[in-house]
Amino acid sequence: MLIFTEQELKEHVQLNLEAISIVEEGFVKLANGEVTMPPIMRVDVHDQNGEVDVKSAYVKGKEMFAIKVSSGFFNNYKLGLPSGNGLMMLISTKTGIPQSLLLDNGYLTHIRTAAAGAIAAKYLSRKNIQTVGVIGAGDQARYQVRALKLVRDFKRVLVYSRSLDRAERYAEEMRAELGLDVQAVENAESVVRNSDTIITTTPANEPLIKAEWVHPGLHITAMGSDAEHKQELEPEILRRADKLVCDTKAQCTRLGELHHALDSKVLADDSSVLELGQLASKQMKGREDDQQITVCDLTGTGVQDTVIALFAYNEMVKRNKGLAIEKNTFATKN
């Protein structure tokens, strides 16, 4: 077995076009029926505003598949800690024997989630955008904008957080990193009305974005609602969308923004809802004109975890990295 640390993974696995392409390929395989993906298992720790998810998927033809344990404890910022954490295990599809542990502390989850956001924007956002709106100011809010910058050129970012201090800190850090005009805004309405593309990255339990704020040409990537009790968008937004896309309908009808729209009868059914893999595989079209309103509901899939874990594993092995464990002895690879 090979064990890789967060420090090693951050050094050699980056959020770049190659990582986005790897995740996009995973969505294509999901759309083509080449993936076996069980439902998410989740443990809620409500009294600590936390949760732990277990996700997995087998991709046909791959030598290994991943099982990921990821946590989100959303009060951690008060302790000076990141909200996300976790690890991944790669298991042989031939023997079932564990082959690797990736002790990434949630880093690979950030990469694959941000990649999905970039893929959504690639097919659904207008090609020419000026202003990106971000709801939330945590780690994923940073990764999403970094990923979006790889597929769209924009000049300005508006960020809203329930904590203005966090929003201002985000603005300062991302302004320095990306060389863009990044501004903290005091309310979500101003962000939505003045942006071409919106990314929501919060664990909110009630809608943060109202339908009356949505305007022609807007794209929304909503990735915070990955549990039954979470919700960032008013259901009416999904009804108004000219294109409504999910990472997987099976999950989104149970966990995502889509399930709130169905439960409230704002949408009668999911027959018009597309999946991201259908766009990536060219089975269906994404945005068709600059006036369409588009929404992508991301709940996070096991196939993303398997493909990013395999990508990371291969990047590390070809560099001869990691701690090798054989026959109850420890040996560090040079």
Catalytic residue among 68, 122, 230, 321: 68
At 144, which helix (H) or strand (E)?
helix 139-151
> How does DSSP assign 249-311, residue by residue?
HHHHTTTSHHHHHHHTTSSS-STT-EEHHHHHTTSS----STT--EEEE----HHHHHHHHHH
Query: Given this model, what pLDDT does residue 227 score?
Result: 81
Query: Which tokens in the block code for residue 290?
Result: 């600059």
* Residue 127 CA to its chain's centroid (Å): 21
| Confidence band for 332, pLDDT divided at 50, 70 and 90 | low
The one-letter amino acid at 326: E
Amino acid letter at 166? R
What is the C-alpha to C-alpha distance for residues 184 and 197, in angstroms, rounded to an integer? 16
Mean pLDDT, residues 144-168: 97
Name the residue among 84, 225, 90 with its Cα closest to residue 143.
84
pTM here is 0.93
CA distance 308 to 223: 18
62 is catalytic: no
DSSP string of 164-232? HHHHHHHHHHHHHHH-SEEEE-S-HHHHHHT-SEEEE----SS-SB-GGG--TT-EEEE-S--STT---
pLDDT digits (tens, 9 = 90+) for 290-312: 999 999 999 999 999 999 999 99
What local confidence, expressed as pLDDT, does residue 328 receive? 58
Length of the chain: 334
Mean pLDDT of all residues in 265-290: 97
Structure confidence by residue, pLDDT tens digits, 194-227: 999 999 999 899 999 999 999 999 999 999 888 8
User: pLDDT at position 321, please?
Assistant: 96
Provide the Cα torsion 17, 23, 27, 33; round to 10°: 130
Q: 202 vs 36, 74, 137, 230, CA distance in Å?
A: 29, 9, 8, 9
Residue 77: per-residue pLDDT: 85
For the chain, what is the largest distance between any 2 Cα atoms, rounded to a whole number of angstroms? 63
